Chains A and B, each alone.
Chain A
Amino acid sequence: MSAVSAKPFESSGLVRALVKYLNIFKASLIERLAYRADFLLGTFLRLLPLLTTILLWKAVYHSKDEISGYSFRQVVAYLLLVHVSRMFSSMPGLASGVARDIRDGNLKRYLIQPLDLMAYLLAYRMAHKVAYIVTSLPLYSVLFYFMGSFFDIPTDPKIYGAYVLALFLGFLIGFAFELSLGMLGFWFLEISSFLYLVNTVNFFVSGHFLPLDLLDPWVAATLKMLPMQYMAYFPAALFLGKIGNWDSIIFGISVEICWCVFFFLLARFSYRLGLRRYGAYGG
């Protein structure tokens, strides 16, 4: 036995923490899979409005072949891909859940157990996403199979790598963004209306509603500077080859990483600040 391996755990606190949260991920996955029927139905219901949206766009494209470089086929493909983006970046109930935990005093769990709120919620959300994506995969497969004719499949395999990376980073941005919003619960009693407002605005500025390129050039340019575009527009546009050459893609992903770091720091900082105010109400 060498001196190094004598204390395997103490020399690797980080590894131990990773193993811990990986196991929490596993345990949460089991918990989340209890709700798989609800996931499947939820996906189905979320896809229904897509039908009317496509019909609407068909009317828009009635007398035109192209708008701002998007053909009708590309817009439909974009709308489908945005659903995939949102599947990764949307965090239903995260901010409101954190705010509620603060208000009701359930936050205590993360304070008295050797458990970090952010790391735990991240592991839990990942489990949630995996359970959600796995259960709704059959539905998406069928959908993409039937709508395959709307896609120009990218030929460069690197695009797929960049796409998956952009989706994953989009998940992290969505997570840290919502978490930072939830921390407002330390200062305000009720934040649900505010969250509703943010979500509504986000629907437009993230490109969930339509490709940002279709807007006035200066509006589009402004929105592409905001972090919200990474929650919907960016991955979809990347897949459709709308971001541009590799330099633009690498630049876009670099900025995405920076936003990611920014929101994680913001969430951590507001959590620290909030805990100073925290009264652990509710018994």
Chain B
Amino acid sequence: MNETAIIRAEGLCRTYTVYEKQPGLIGSIRSLWNRKYRTVVAVDNVSFSVEPGEIVGFLGPNGAGKTTTLKMLSGLIYPSSGTASVLGFTPWERADSFRRQFSLVMGQKNQLWWDLPASDSFDLHREVYSLPKDRFQTVLGELIEMFEVSRLVRQPVRELSLGERMKMELIASLLHEPKVLLLDEPTIGLDVVAQQTIQRCLREYNRLKQATILLTSHYMRDVEALCKRVLVITNGKLVHDGPLATIVQRLGSIKQIRLQFAGESLPANIRLPESSRVQGTVVDLSVSRELVSETISRILEQHPVSDITVTDPPLEDVVARYFQETSEVPKT
């Protein structure tokens, strides 16, 4: 393990005991005196470390253990075994000096006062973190400018759109200039424009304050835009830790070709692979990388084509395939 790491997890495990109800009414009655419990391993021996100033993406399907790991790193829950240190502190001891230096933002939770303008919640934040007034004003000014929300801070939070509210949440969580930022689905449910603003602001914050960011997201765009390095977790196990490009290279041997045929309808005599999708005169093909030029030239020779685009498949598909492969490894 590297000595300079700002976040370090060693052998983190977390198991939950869940109560398993038998189905139906009889099961409900029976479970009144005979309860069955099952142990679920949410996080299984996860170790990694993050250097100061890094932005690391945390990927994995739902229920893989991403959020549970973030909760342990932020001190919300105790691990079943293993150790972690963030900023030199053990998170679940919840020292005040630790809590002043990091932030956890969960996209599905809000912490702002609903019926009051966000600026009132920001004032409360200043009190909670005992921030000096001058510094607070400066940082708040910077953040408001960065997130472009100057017209919205005096408006009651309930009147804001989802995206605007999320920006306010992020501002609130950055007011005390955290050195470590843990983000759980920060862009969930947002439109592309709001997503991009948030990505831009996070990049800027990272650059300005040399802050370390660890984020989970369903939107691969977030990860593509922000993270050079990703951790992939499935079934509680860390299965990949390295550059995002490695995953893409390993599985990104497929290219997508979109062809727009000229004319009113598809050429009658065309032969297309089975996997292709046809919509009117637009055809989508998935072809392995080395066959791309051959395929295109073959089609261009035989048929009138008005437009061609060749793209990488969406990262979602790539990672989904990665998850499938890794979870198909036979268990011993």
CB interface residues, B 252-311, toward A, < 8 Å = none
* Tally of A interface residues using CB under 8 Å: 25
Interface stretch among B43-51, B105-113, B134-142, B190-198? B105-113
* CB of B96 closer than 8 Å to a CB of A: yes
Asked whether A283 lies within 8 Å of B67 as measured between CB atoms, the reply is yes
Which chain A residues lie closer than 8 Å to B128 at the CB level?
A: 20, 24, 113-115
Neighbouring B residues of A282 by C-beta, 8 Å: 108-109
Q: A254-283 vs B: 1/0 string, CB under 8 Å?
A: 000000000000000000000010111011
Question: Could you tell me the distance between the alpha carbons of A105 and B16 in the complex, rounded to whole angstroms?
Answer: 16
**Of residues 72 to 97 in B, which have CB atoms within 8 Å of A's CB atoms?**
74-78, 94, 96
What mask results when residues 16 to 47 of chain A are scored 1 for a CB within 8 Å of chain B, else 0? Answer: 10011001100110110010000000000000
Q: B29 interface residue, CB < 8 Å from A? A: no
How distant is A32 from chain B, measured CB to nearest CB, in Å? 10
Q: How long is the Cα–Cα vector from A236 to B187 in the complex, in angstroms?
A: 55
Asked if B100 is at the interface (CB within 8 A of a chain A CB), the reply is yes
**Known contacts A27-B123, A112-B103: A280-B116 contact under CB 8 Å:** no
Partner of A114, one of B16, B78, B100: B100
CB within 8 Å for A114 and B124 given contacts A106-B109, A108-B109, A280-B77: no
In the assembly, what is the distance between CA of A112 and CA of B76, in Å? 7
Q: Which residues of A contact B129 (CB under 8 A)?
A: 113-114
Contacts of A111 in B (CB 8 A): 74-76, 94
* Distance, CA A49 to CA B15, complexed state (A): 53
Question: CA separation between A19 and B132, bound complex, in Å?
Answer: 13
Report if A112-B99 is in contact (Cβ < 8 Å); known contacts: A279-B16, A280-B71, A280-B76.
yes
- Whether A114 contacts B96 in the complex (CB less than 8 A), given A20-B130, A23-B127, comes out as yes
Tell yes or no: B115 within 8 A of A by CB: yes
Interface-centre pick from A19, A23, A108 (highest chain B CB count, 10 A): A108
Q: In the complex the two chains form, is B124's CB within 8 Å of A283's CB?
A: no
User: In the complex, A108 Cα to B71 Cα: how many Å?
Assistant: 9
Number of A-B contacts (CB under 8 A): 68
Number of residues on chain B facing chain A (CB within 8 A): 32
Quick one: which of A112-140 are within 8 Å of B by CB? Answer: 112-115
Query: Which residues of B have CB within 8 Å of A23?
Result: 127
Name which residue of chain A comes closest to B72, CB basis: A280
Measured CB to CB, the nearest residue on chain B to A13 is B96
Contact residues in B for A114 (Cβ distance below 8 Å): 96, 99-100, 128-130
In the complex, residue of chain A having the shortest beta-carbon distance to the beta carbon of B99: A114
Min CB distance B172 to A, Å, is: 10
**Chain A residue with minimal CB distance to B107?**
A283
In this complex, which of B108, B129, B130, B184 has the most chain A Cβ atoms within 10 angstroms of its Cβ?
B130
A residues less than 8 Å from B223 (CB atoms): none
Which residues of chain B have C-beta atoms less than 8 A from A16's C-beta? 130
Report chain B residues within 8 Å CB of A280.
71, 76-77
Report whether B75 and A112 are in contact in the complex, using a CB–CB cutoff of 8 Å.
yes
Contacts of B78 in A (CB 8 A): 276
A108 (CB) vs chain B CBs: closest residue? B76
B104 within 8 A of A: yes
Interface of chain A residues 167 through 214 with chain B (CB within 8 A): none
- For B74, the chain A residues whose CB sits under 8 A away are 108, 111-112
B120 at the interface (CB under 8 A from A): yes
Contact A34/B115 with A106-B109, A283-B109 known, Cβ cut-off 8 Å? yes
Q: Which residue of A lies closest to B184 (CB)?
A: A283
Residue in A23, A28, A30, A111 with the greatest tally of chain B CB atoms within 10 Å: A111
Is there an interface contact between A283 and B104, defined as CB atoms closer than 8 Å?
Answer: no
**In the complex, what residue of chain A is closest to B96 when comparing beta carbons?**
A114
A47 to B16, CA, bound (A): 49
Q: Which residues of A contact B104 (CB under 8 A)?
A: 108, 112
Residues of B within 8 A of A20 (CB): 127-128, 130
A108 to B173, CA, bound (A): 13
* Chain A positions within 8 Å of B184 at CB level: 283
Task: Tell me the bound Cα distance from A209 to B120 in angstroms.
Answer: 41
B107 / chain A contacts, CB cutoff of 8 Å: 283
Q: 22 A-B residue contacts at CB 8 Å?
A: A19-B130, A24-B124, A24-B128, A27-B120, A31-B113, A31-B120, A34-B115, A111-B74, A111-B75, A112-B76, A112-B99, A114-B100, A114-B128, A114-B130, A278-B77, A280-B71, A280-B77, A282-B109, A283-B67, A283-B109, A283-B184, A283-B185
A115-B128, A282-B108 known, 20 other contacts, Cβ within 8 Å? A16-B130, A20-B130, A27-B120, A27-B123, A31-B115, A34-B115, A105-B109, A108-B76, A108-B104, A108-B106, A108-B109, A109-B111, A111-B74, A112-B74, A113-B128, A113-B129, A278-B76, A279-B16, A283-B107, A283-B108
Closest 3 CB pairs of A and B: A23-B127, A280-B76, A114-B96
